[in-house]
Amino acid sequence: MKVTVVCEHNASMDSEEGKKAYPEGLGVCLKTMLEEAGHSVTLVRTDETGADALTDEIIDNTDVMFWWGHWYHLKVSDEIINKVADRALRGMGMVFLHSAHDSKMFKRLLGSSCSLKWREDGEQERLWCVDLTHPIARGLGEYVDIPHEEMYGEPFDIPTPDELVYIGWFRGGEVFRGGCVFKRGLGKLFYFNPGHETYPTYKLPAVRQLLCQACAYVAPQIPLKDKICCPHIDGFSVKD
């Protein structure tokens, strides 16, 4: 499967904690994880200049797109958001990680503010599985523990998920819908809250297994459809 990892680079990743968590880079960590699962992976680095490295050719050849961003969501152009959203609605799978809840892409597909409660304490998060039969949770037991993570809490302004797989619990008492699936058009997307850049969350075997299972779950089940709409609409076009 062709997987694209869109991963922002920010100054926090260059801090002592950031380099200690991911000496190779967080994006490279995700890329390697997916390659080990047998996928062909393209890593696209975004930064304060935007996401121009996410070219049409890459978008048009992606089966599943991972999206990690934090500081520079607003730098991603609307043109790129339109293209990725179009492909997602035609069946491309998407996995949104951590602060991607605040990305233009996630908000576009969900249609709400996606705001949440926040605290950066680096405390334990326990993700309780609320659907033990779900393919994303296969073989992972009743819960997944993250030793250190940023707290994301309810209320989380999202539409009711089509499938709720995990609810995160934090030592501060907060809870959070941290693992949920949404169906949009012919595509599926999965949101997973853990993954702040200064904690090595994506090195945890259980998290790697969960994300690889999420990748397989949101993958297109049928060939991607061309855009089809009423020909009277101004600007009507059908992709080649």
Least distance in angstroms from the C-beta of 198 to Zn ion: 8
N-term to C-term CA, the chain = 22
**Residues in contact with Zn ion by the rule CB under 5 A:** 150, 196
Where helices occur in the chain by DSSP H, the ranges are: 16-21, 26-36, 56-60, 78-89, 104-110, 205-218
**Vertex 222, ends 219 and 224: CA angle to 5°?**
85
User: In the structure, how many helices (H) and strands (E) does the chain have?
Assistant: 6, 9
Nearer to Zn ion among residue 24 and residue 120 (C-beta):
120
The values of phi and psi at residue 75, to 5°, are -80, -15
Task: Report the C-alpha gap between 32 and 39 in whole angstroms.
Answer: 10
Q: How far is the CB of 150 from Zn ion (least distance, A)?
A: 4
Q: Which residues of 32-52 are buried (b: 16+ CB within 10 A; e: fewer)?
A: bbbeebebebbbbebeeeebe
Residue 39 CB, shortest distance to Zn ion, in Å, is: 25
Based on CB atoms, which residue is closest to Zn ion, 41 or 151?
151
The answer to whether residues 106 and 96 touch, using CB atoms and an 8 Å cutoff, is: yes
CB 139 within 8 A of CB 208: no
- Least Å distance, CB 99 to Zn ion, is 5
Residue 100 Cβ vs Zn ion, minimum distance, rounded to whole Å = 10
The nearer residue to Zn ion, 25 or 93, going by C-beta atoms, is 25
Residue nearest Zn ion, CB atom distance: 196
Kindly tell me which of 8 and 150 has the beta carbon lying closer to Zn ion.
150
The 3 state secondary structure assigned to 120-142 is EEEEEEEEEECCCCCHHHCCCCC
Nearest residue (CB) to Zn ion, 42 versus 201: 201
Q: Which is nearer to Zn ion, 90 or 196 (CB)?
A: 196
Quote the least distance from Cβ 117 to Zn ion, whole Å: 13
